[in-house]
Amino acid sequence: MASADGHGAVETIEAAPAKINLALHVTGQREDGYHLLETLVTFTLAGDVLRFREAEEDGFSISGRFAPELMASGSSENLVLKARDLFRNFAAKNGSATRPVAIHLEKNLPIASGIGGGSADAAAALRGLRRHWKLEIGDLTLQEMALALGADVPMCLTSRPLIARGIGEKIEQLSRFPNLSMVLANPLKGVSTPHIFRLLTEKNNPSLPPIVDDNEAGGLQMLRRLRNDLQPSAISLLPEIDTILSLLSSEGAELARMSGSGATCFGIFPTIQKAKAAAAALRQTQPGWYVQETMTIAGRTS
């Protein structure tokens, strides 16, 4: 695809899907302070977008609804650039040259919101640069680079339904996990992840049960038996999370739960049409919120 401004022969486009923790069980804590987790994760068609093009020198730019907040914080910008530099250094050590690249991030997801954000952007940077620079770097090596960037980046690199264990580095892909129709909602208020973990009264909770991987109805029944162990603490810090869950349920969600450490919540709806109707109703009553209807990305079929 030709670049929009005429600079560079080719533009490479890479999606950064939102990460949804359908369930998050805290099962322990390591001596170094990291919490042990078991989480059922899926990804959505909603997300950020990264674009890469050749340039005379490296560049980085941002647009989108949440660009101002991102530029003020610098968090995801740093992760994208860290991903670029990590990839380039690895390539140089292995005798591969990398050309200057201009990276543009279309920031559609709220930052620090429990749905991937910077981790998804960093993972998309690794995937996109591998394609843009046409480097023969294996998936395992890319996963190692992803883990060096953060515990959530390896699962975002996969961007397919999965179970993650440990601190997020032990990944089991789910090949036949069904598509789900969803509404994402966030009040655009921050909640401190470290504070949430400090408020946990129990850090040795039951593990995930066996996961249904091939039946939508059975999958929904299973999801109702799971939980997000961070949700009660998050609600105590930000009561609006409980309001979101109640509103999603009142609009017809078959299941409403917080994702990750919040404050984004998701509601699962029977059809995408009902999800769209629910999202429209929420936007009307809560115009200051982030509200997005979407579909999840299916598991790999082979």
Q: Which active-site residues does the annotation give?
A: 19, 152
- Taking a C-beta distance cutoff of 8 angstroms, is the pair 46, 292 a contact? yes
How long is the chain? 302
H helix or E strand, kind and range, residue 68: helix 67-73
- Taking a C-beta distance cutoff of 8 angstroms, is the pair 133, 117 a contact? no
Upstream peptide bond of 263 is cis (omega within 30 degrees of 0): yes
Q: How many CB atoms lie within 10 A of CB 195?
A: 13
Angle at 156 between CA 153 and CA 158, to 5 degrees: 120
125-160: string of b/e by CB count within 10 Å (b at 16+)? Answer: bbbbbbebbebebeeeebbebbbebbbbbbbbbbbb
Angle at 119 between CA 113 and CA 122, to 5 degrees: 140
* Cα torsion 273, 274, 277, 283: sign: negative
Token output for 153: 């980046």
CA–CA gap between residue 96 and residue 152 (Å, rounded): 27
Residue that the structure tokens 């059975």 belong to = 218
For 146, residues 6+ apart whose C-beta sits below 8 A from its C-beta are 122, 123, 126, 153, 154, 156, 157
Residue type, 260: G
Residue 279, φ and ψ in degrees, nearest 5: -65, -40
- Taking a C-beta distance cutoff of 8 angstroms, is the pair 185, 248 a contact? yes
